[in-house]
Structures are given as structure tokens and as C-alpha cells.
Chain A
Amino acid sequence: MLAAILVIPLVAAVAAALLPARRVPAVTIAAALACLGLVIALVPDAAHGAPVEASYLRADAVSVIFLLATAFLYAIVAVYAVGYLRAEHGDDARYARRFHALFNLFAASMLAAPLMSSLALLWIAVEVTTVVSALLVALEGTDSAAEAAWKYVMVASAGLGLALLATIFLYYAGAQVLGEHFNLAITALITAGPRLPHAPVLLAFLLATLGYGTKAGLVPVHTWLPDAHSEAATPVSALLSGALLATSFYAITRCYEVAAATLGSGIPRDALLAFGVASLLLASLYVLGQRDVKRLLAYSSVEHMGILAIGVSFGSPVALAGVLLHVMAHAAAKGGAFMGAGVFRVKYHAKEVSAMRGGLQILPWSGPLFLMTVFALSALPPSGIFRSEFQIVAGGLASGQHAAAAVLVAGVTVAFFGLTTSATQVLMTRPARSLGAAAAVERGEPSAWLVVPMLVCVAVLVLLGVHPPGELSDLIARGAAQLGGRP
């Protein structure tokens, strides 16, 4: 079953490259839904039973949570892409085939990362996500996209070079206890944690946080992120932000587990807290002054990755449960928000906030849905993000980290101002009529393909916020216990 989760998108990628373009979207949607179904089928085992294992693949509670976020976005964005590609690229068969082939490959690599039982394979999966998604960014063919893709691939690859170095140091540490033929299995490292030598593990954890943090968008190594997110096609932006950043953060949590088992939680938590606070504060300030909708959402992603890092650094079970819920809720909210921004782009042919006016009147469905996802990103109830951030702050206060919890609340509030100010300018203004008839935008939705996925995202957000399903709560509780060092 684990292998099927990887093979299905790979087959879809090959099929997308070979089949006639009009059949390709159906293949992608079918593959994505199949993957989502398989991942959901993993939940009961991961929540209650033993981790599911098959040679180099392994799924426990933490990995299934990250898989759920990725598979959900993969499915939802596959549907959205049908409408988006039609609206933006018409019937360009060459572009559609390339897009779908890379899109499925990208999904396969992101689904692969949390399934890997070894840190070495995890690194490889994350590196593959980089090269595939850089091609997806460059696929847009504009000068800005070429620039964004180059910066992305250079910065992220350099970061991942450090992560590879971290992997080698961890092998060195592990080999001293577990023998030369040890294959960097994550569980073996955690079990052997207390006996590992401290210096290489500490160095490895710091390098891994910096290296994978580059991909996760932690300040100060986030610089590729707003460029790539804003220049990629919107379906790609949604996956980059909701799934790729989480996948990279997953790698950090795994290294954190190993480091905490060896060094105790002190230094690893302090390191994550420093990265988290820097990301949260800087990103919320950038959100405040942003004029491009997609860059705005990209900086909001940096902010949310900061919240995740702070949450892990709090370390109490409530905060860790909040972190895991936040991963899923952020995927739904950011996916929905990017898809909303994509609808605006299709409708107004622009990315700047100033060029969009009267959203609520012109887009009767997407306008309100976009507003809801923005409110969700700002952690207003009843969204899942409200619940998750509430848990993180409560966990921080419970573990005596009052100052960090206060900083978190302040940072989220600043970001709330930034997000809602821009959303208000787009949505609650009068439609621009003064520029002449040519500039006036007709009322109406471009396509139902674009609206239904947003609707699903909002529904999932409300579900996560109001009443998460019982199995999911069990899964999160187990994952939090695992992250807290109590499997």
C-alpha cells in the first residue's frame, strides 16, 4: 500500500507525458484521489496500531499527518488545475502535458519524503522536490519565472547541501553505536539517541535546521520563497506553500526527534525558537507592506512556518498537537487562499492588489471564499488554524514560555492586519469603472472548476476548527506523543 502511494503519481506522470492532452487532467485527478484514499486508509493503523512498514518505506503517526496534508492538496489542486489551465493557457496541449507530468512528479516526490524510513532517502526525496518544482516554476516561460527558478534552485540546493552534510554527520554519530552498516534509519537513530556522541549530533541538527529550513522558508534563509511562489502558476504556488514547506518542515521534525533523544530538548528547542521567532516577526512585517497578492500569501507562509518552529520549541504535548493540526489546517487555508488569488488573476489579469477592485461584487463565490481563507490564515474562529494556534499558545504558556507565547500572539496580530488590509482593498471596494469600459470586469465566476476546490478547503477548515473527526484527533495525539519523545 505504501508503495502504491508513490507509484500511482509516477505512473500518472508518465501517462501525462504520453497521452493526448485532453485526457491528461482526468488521469491526474484520478491519481490524486487514489493517493488521498490510500493515505486516509493509513490513518486507523497509524493512530492505533503499529507503524506500517515495507522495506525502505515507513508510515507512523507523524508521517501520516504530513501525508494527509500533501495528498489533500494534491487532490484538490488537481481539480483546480483543470479550470486554471483552461483559463490561462487555453488549449495549449504541449504546456498541459508538461505541466501535468511535472505536477504528478512533484506530488510523488512530496509524498515520498514522509514515507522514507531513512534520513538519507528523506534527503533525496526533498532534493527531488526541489529540482522538479524549480522546473515547474520555470515552465511559466516568463523572464521573472526564469529568475525565480534560478534563485530557487541555487538557494535551495545550497541549503540542501548543508542538510546532506548533516545527514553524513548523523551517519557518523550513528555508526559509532550501531555499526558501519547502519542505513540511517530514523527509528534506530532515535532509539540509540542517548548513546550517540553529542558533538556530531549537535552539529548535524543545526546544519539540518539551516539546510531544510532553507526549503521550509525559515528566516534568514527564506529568500527564494516569495519569488518562486509569486512567479509559479497558481496551482503550483498552492502546492509549494501548503505541501512543500510542510514536507521540508517534516524533515526538521525528524532531525529534532533524533537531536532531542541525544542532547535533551534544551539546545534543539532554543535553535528552533530562534528561527521561529525571526521568521514570524520578519514575515509579518513583510505581510504588512505587500502589494502583490501572491507575495503576500508567500510571506504569510514564512510566518506560519515560524509558528510551527515556535510550536515545536514549546515542546509540551498541547503545543505539539497544535503543530500537527496546524500543518493540516495551513495546507487547507493556504491552498484555498492561493486558489482564490488565482481566480483573481484569471479575472483581472493582474497580480497587484491595486489592480483588483470590487472582488465581492464581481466574484460572487470566489470573493467570499477568498475572504474566509484569509480570515482563517489570520487565525479567526471557527477555522482549524484558530484551534491549532490556540493550542500552540496554550502549550507555550503551560510550559512557562510566556515571552515567546506573547511574541507569537503579537506577530500573528501584525500579520492579521497585513492580510486583512490587502483583502479589504481587493474585496470591499467598488469595482473599477472609472478606467473606461475596457477595464471594467464582468461579474461572474470564470469556472466552477475553480470554485469547488476552494469550497472544499473552507469546509475542511471549518471541520478541523469545529470538530475534528475522532480518528484524526487520535492520530494527532499519538503524533504529538511521538514528537514529545513518548512513543
Chain B
Amino acid sequence: MDPAPGVYVGVANALAAVMLLLEFGMLRQALVRDQVRLYAAQSALISVLAVVIAADRGLPDLYALAALSGALKIVAVPYVLRRLLPGHHGRRVPGWLSPQEEHPGPWQPRDEPPGVAGSYTLSPASAVLASIALGAFGFFCLGSLHMGGLTVPTTALAIAGAMIFVAFGLMIIRRDVVSQAIGFFSLENAISLTALVMAAGLPLILETAFLFDLLVAVVVFGMLIRAHHGSAGSLSTADLTRLKG
């Protein structure tokens, strides 16, 4: 890494690091509502980073991208997710809590989608440790490639690598449909971060198409979450064991 990073590189790296922290937040979050909020916050940082890169590199297209990405990922996607998530009536849905959490504390508000607190395959502490290991692996993997040159601050790219691995970890470790979907969306955020630092000049029309595609995916994920909730009576994926062999 450069001995004295400039303001632009410093800001880009700091934003990427906060995004990675938010990724860990999603991994640990017990309430669907908060997971969606963390996702929105992470998406907001993507937009801020796009503005920073646009200002530094003189790429006016990126302002439009920042606005579009913000409208979609901070407003539309969380809205669609909240609308499509089942359980708006505060009904306790059996089967998705682990035995030790059968009696949720007062933090579980009514009229919210059911929480996903007990959906770990590992204990929460091991989950975080495993994710740190995954993230470190991703960090050094992408960092060791030394791809620089265009708009790339190498550290931000390495952090994007860590985010990708932690997002996969989130999808694997949490056994509920909402966490898995959020894991996928944050994987998409990690790839957006990679795209921003590696491919800032990507034509706007392609970026727009990617974002539109994300919206379609969110709607379909939401519908499938509803379908799953309808057939399994819970958000847990632990019972998805009918199809084998």
C-alpha cells in the first residue's frame, strides 16, 4: 500500500471498511427489520462512495449512478422487502426459534416480521469467528492480486473481497430465508463495491440494467419467501430436507 494515502484513497478505504463492519452486523442481527436497515445503510455508503469517486475522477455518470442506486437500494428494495415479508400481524410463528429462545424478551415488538434470532448453524460467537477467518481469507486473496492502475485503491478492493466472503458466510451460517436473501443482496453490494473501485467507467446503461435486474430479483425473492413461509409455516430453512439424492 502507498506510504501516504491521499484523501480520496483514505475516504474510499474507510467507507469500504465501514461497509464490511455493517456486513458483520447483518450476520449478528436477530430481527429482520434491523437486517433490512443495515442493508439500507450499507447501500447508502455505496452511493456515498460513488459520489466520492465521481468527484475525484471526474466521472459525471457516477453521480447519476449514485442517485439511482440510492433510490433503489435505500428506498425501493427495503420497502419491497418489508411489504413482501410475512408475519405483519405479530403472530408468533412456531419452529423458527431455537429452544433457548422460546420466550423472546421485550425487545421483540409486535406488528413486525418474525425475528430470525435462532437460525445459526454455529453458535453466534463461532459464527463471528468463522466469518472473520473467511473475511481475512477474502481480504488477502484479492489483496494479493495487486490489481491497480485505473481507479483502484488496493485496500478497498481487498475489503470488497472480504465482504464477498462474509456475505457467503452469512448465507451459509444463517438458516432462515430472510438472512439468506439479505446475504445475497449484500453480496451484490460487495460486488457493487468491487465494480466501483475496479470498473468505475462501466457505461451507465449497463449499471442501470444491473440495478433493474436487482429489483426484479428482490421482488422474486420476496415472493419465494412468502411461498416458503406459506408452506413451511416459518422462515427457517432447517426443514428443507425433503429433496435428496
* Contact residue among A118, A134, A172, A180 (Cβ-Cβ distance under 8 Å from B220): A134
Question: What residues of chain A lie closer than 8 Å to B240, measured between beta carbons?
Answer: 147, 150-151
Beta-carbon contacts under 8 Å, B192-209 to A: 194-195, 198-203, 205-206, 209
- Most chain B CB within 10 A, of A142, A147, A183, is at A147
Q: Tell me whether B209 and A172 are in contact (CB under 8 A).
A: no
Question: What residues of chain A lie closer than 8 Å to B149, measured between beta carbons?
Answer: 176
Q: Tell me whether B213 and A151 are in contact (CB under 8 A).
A: no
Q: Tell me whether A180 and B150 are in contact (CB under 8 A).
A: yes
- Most chain B CB within 10 A, of A127, A146, A203, is at A146
Beta-carbon contacts under 8 Å, B177-198 to A: 177, 180-181, 184, 187-188, 191, 194-195, 198
Q: Tell me whether A183 and B206 are in contact (CB under 8 A).
A: yes
* Contact residue among A128, A146, A172 (Cβ-Cβ distance under 8 Å from B199): A172
Q: Tell me whether B147 and A172 are in contact (CB under 8 A).
A: yes
Q: Is A295 an interface residue (CB 8 A)?
A: yes
* Contact residue among A120, A169, A203 (Cβ-Cβ distance under 8 Å from B210): A120
How far is B184's CA from A485's CA once the two chains are assembled, in angstroms? 36
Q: Tell me whether B228 and A150 are in contact (CB under 8 A).
A: yes
Closest residue to A118 on the B side, CB-wise?
A: B206
Q: Is A60 an interface residue (CB 8 A)?
A: no
Closest residue to A170 on the B side, CB-wise?
A: B199
Which stretch in B14-22, B42-50, B229-237 binds the other chain? B229-237
* Contact residue among A153, A176, A184 (Cβ-Cβ distance under 8 Å from B206): A184
Q: Tell me whether A143 and B242 are in contact (CB under 8 A).
A: yes
Q: Tell me whether B217 and A157 are in contact (CB under 8 A).
A: yes
Beta-carbon contacts under 8 Å, A103-134 to B: 118, 120-121, 124, 127-128, 131-132, 134
- Most chain A CB within 10 A, of B171, B194, B206, is at B206
How far is B202's CA from A184's CA once the two chains are assembled, in angstroms? 9
Which stretch in A158-166, A382-390, A391-399 binds the other chain? A158-166
How far is B245's CA from A121's CA once the two chains are assembled, in angstroms? 35
Q: Tell me whether B150 and A176 are in contact (CB under 8 A).
A: yes
Nearest-Cβ distance from residue B116 to partner chain A, whole angstroms: 15
Q: Tell me whether B195 and A168 are in contact (CB under 8 A).
A: yes
Q: Tell me whether B227 and A149 are in contact (CB under 8 A).
A: yes
Closest residue to B203 on the A side, CB-wise?
A: A183
Q: Tell me whether A124 and B180 are in contact (CB under 8 A).
A: no
Chain B: number of interface residues, binned into ranges: 35 or more
How far is B221's CA from A165's CA once the two chains are assembled, in angstroms? 21
Per-position 1/0 for B144-170, Cβ under 8 A of A: 010101100000000000001000100
Closest residue to B184 on the A side, CB-wise?
A: A157
Question: What residues of chain B lie closer than 8 Å to A248, measured between beta carbons?
Answer: none
Q: Tell me whether A150 and B177 are in contact (CB under 8 A).
A: yes
> For the complex, would chain B's binding face be called helix, strand, loop or mixed by DSSP majority?
helix
Given contacts A138-B223, A146-B227, A149-B227, contact A181 B147 (CB under 8 A): no
Q: Tell me whether A127 and B213 are in contact (CB under 8 A).
A: yes
Q: Is B7 an interface residue (CB 8 A)?
A: no
How far is B201's CA from A169's CA once the two chains are assembled, in angstroms? 13
Question: What residues of chain B lie closer than 8 Å to A295, measured between beta carbons?
Answer: 245
* Contact residue among B201, B205, B243 (Cβ-Cβ distance under 8 Å from A148): B243
Q: Is A52 an interface residue (CB 8 A)?
A: no
Nearest-Cβ distance from residue B29 to partner chain A, whole angstroms: 19
Closest residue to A173 on the B side, CB-wise?
A: B147
How far is B228's CA from A226's CA once the two chains are assembled, in angstroms? 19
- Most chain A CB within 10 A, of B220, B228, B232, is at B220
Nearest-Cβ distance from residue B172 to partner chain A, whole angstroms: 10
Nearest-Cβ distance from residue A135 to partner chain B, whole angstroms: 6
Chain A: number of interface residues, binned into ranges: 35 or more
Closest residue to A231 on the B side, CB-wise?
A: B243
Question: What residues of chain A lie closer than 8 Å to B145, measured between beta carbons?
Answer: 199-200, 203
Nearest-Cβ distance from residue B147 to partner chain A, whole angstroms: 6
Question: What residues of chain A lie closer than 8 Å to B133, measured between beta carbons?
Answer: none
Closest residue to A142 on the B side, CB-wise?
A: B231
Q: Is A230 an interface residue (CB 8 A)?
A: yes
How far is B209's CA from A118's CA once the two chains are assembled, in angstroms? 12
Q: Tell me whether A169 and B198 are in contact (CB under 8 A).
A: yes
Q: Tell me whether A199 and B147 are in contact (CB under 8 A).
A: yes
Nearest-Cβ distance from residue A445 to partner chain B, whole angstroms: 30
Q: Tell me whether A146 and B243 are in contact (CB under 8 A).
A: no
Per-position 1/0 for A229-245, Cβ under 8 A of B: 01100000000000000
Nearest-Cβ distance from residue B53 to partner chain A, whole angstroms: 12
Question: What residues of chain A lie closer than 8 Å to B150, measured between beta carbons?
Answer: 172, 175-176, 180
Given contacts A134-B224, A153-B224, A295-B245, contact A158 B213 (CB under 8 A): no
Nearest-Cβ distance from residue A478 to partner chain B, whole angstroms: 29
Nearest-Cβ distance from residue B200 to partner chain A, whole angstroms: 8
Q: Is B216 an interface residue (CB 8 A)?
A: yes
Closest residue to A120 on the B side, CB-wise?
A: B206
How far is B201's CA from A274's CA once the two chains are assembled, in angstroms? 35
How far is B198's CA from A128's CA once the two chains are assembled, in angstroms? 25
Q: Tell me whether A138 and B227 are in contact (CB under 8 A).
A: yes
Beta-carbon contacts under 8 Å, A288-332 to B: 289-290, 295
Q: Is A227 an interface residue (CB 8 A)?
A: yes
Given contacts A150-B240, A154-B180, A230-B243, contact A121 B147 (CB under 8 A): no
Q: Tell me whether A165 and B231 are in contact (CB under 8 A).
A: no
Q: A168-B202, A172-B150 are in contact. List 5 more A-B contacts (CB 8 A).
A: A135-B224, A147-B228, A150-B237, A168-B194, A230-B243
Interface residues of A (CB under 8 A from B): 118, 120-121, 124, 127-128, 131-132, 134-135, 138, 142-144, 146-151, 153-154, 157-158, 161, 164-165, 168-169, 171-172, 175-176, 180-181, 183-184, 199-200, 203, 226-227, 230-231, 286, 289-290, 295
20 contacts between A and B (CB under 8 A): A121-B206, A124-B209, A128-B213, A128-B216, A134-B220, A138-B223, A143-B231, A144-B243, A146-B231, A149-B227, A150-B228, A164-B191, A165-B164, A165-B191, A176-B150, A183-B205, A199-B145, A227-B243, A286-B245, A295-B245
Which 9 pairs from chain A and chain B are nearest by CB? A180-B201, A131-B220, A227-B243, A146-B231, A143-B231, A120-B206, A171-B199, A172-B198, A147-B240
